[in-house]
Amino acid sequence: MTSRPRDLQTAAPAGYRKPDRGTQPDYFYPPYASTVKRSPTQPLVRLPTTLSEVTGPLFGFEIIKGNDFDLTKQGNGDPIGERIVVSGRVLDANARPVANTLVEVWQANAAGRYPHDRDQHNAPLDPNFPGCGRTLTDDQGRFRFVTIRPGEYPWRNHYNAWRPAHIHFSLFGPAFATRLVTQMYFPGDPLLDYDPMYLSIADERARQRLISTFDWETTIPETALGYKFDIILRGRDETPMDNYLPG
């Protein structure tokens, strides 16, 4: 067995390939009004990541309680709405499972309302539905949430603008600097064709990766429909992320 040349032994690990053009949300997409002000007007400056930024600080596993995965059990009673099961896997570019990673979700209630001061639209709050959950992936990269199907809600981006039903996902990774955020949609939602957040991903196949699929296997008889949503961190089938930084 031959040893590797010294320069290869000491070289930094190879960087990741950039996502294909159009497979992540455009920074500047005028139909999505807030991108006009927040998109960069100057060339991006790459900041080298230091070791401490990718190794910590780390959340403590002990903050996750046993029923945090079940958003229907966070109040004193049952929340209103259609119960669903959302499950999937977190996979790397080579389809290997990403184990023990924190997956968090947040969403509107069945009426399309968030329990947040800034959400004042005319739909009822549900005292039994705070709308947040979290879990860790298992050794196969799997996660599973029980929740309520979220309602669509208006958002004033343009005339008669309504967000398609969606669940926000955050993957924490090993440190704050590695956090990824995305949204999951539902199959057959007619609002997707009108949603500039969804349409800001130019590549149709890429944006369709954000649509969950109905899953008979995880559907619970008499109780809840199952939806599958796999999240792929890198590579050709990479999941579009809200916080994509080009360059």
Would you name the residues annotated as active-site residues?
A: 114, 153, 163, 166, 168
Buried b (16+ CB within 10 A) or exposed e, 72-111: bebeeeebebebbbbbbbbbeeeeebbeebbbbbbbbbbb
- Reduced to 3 states, what is the DSSP secondary structure of residue 23? coil
Tokens for 72, please give them: 């229907």
The sign of the torsion formed by the CA atoms of 91, 241, 169, 197 equals negative
For residue 181, what is the enclosing H or E element? strand 180-185
3-class DSSP assignment, residue 71: helix
Closest residue by Cα to residue 214 from 84, 117, 58, 115:
84
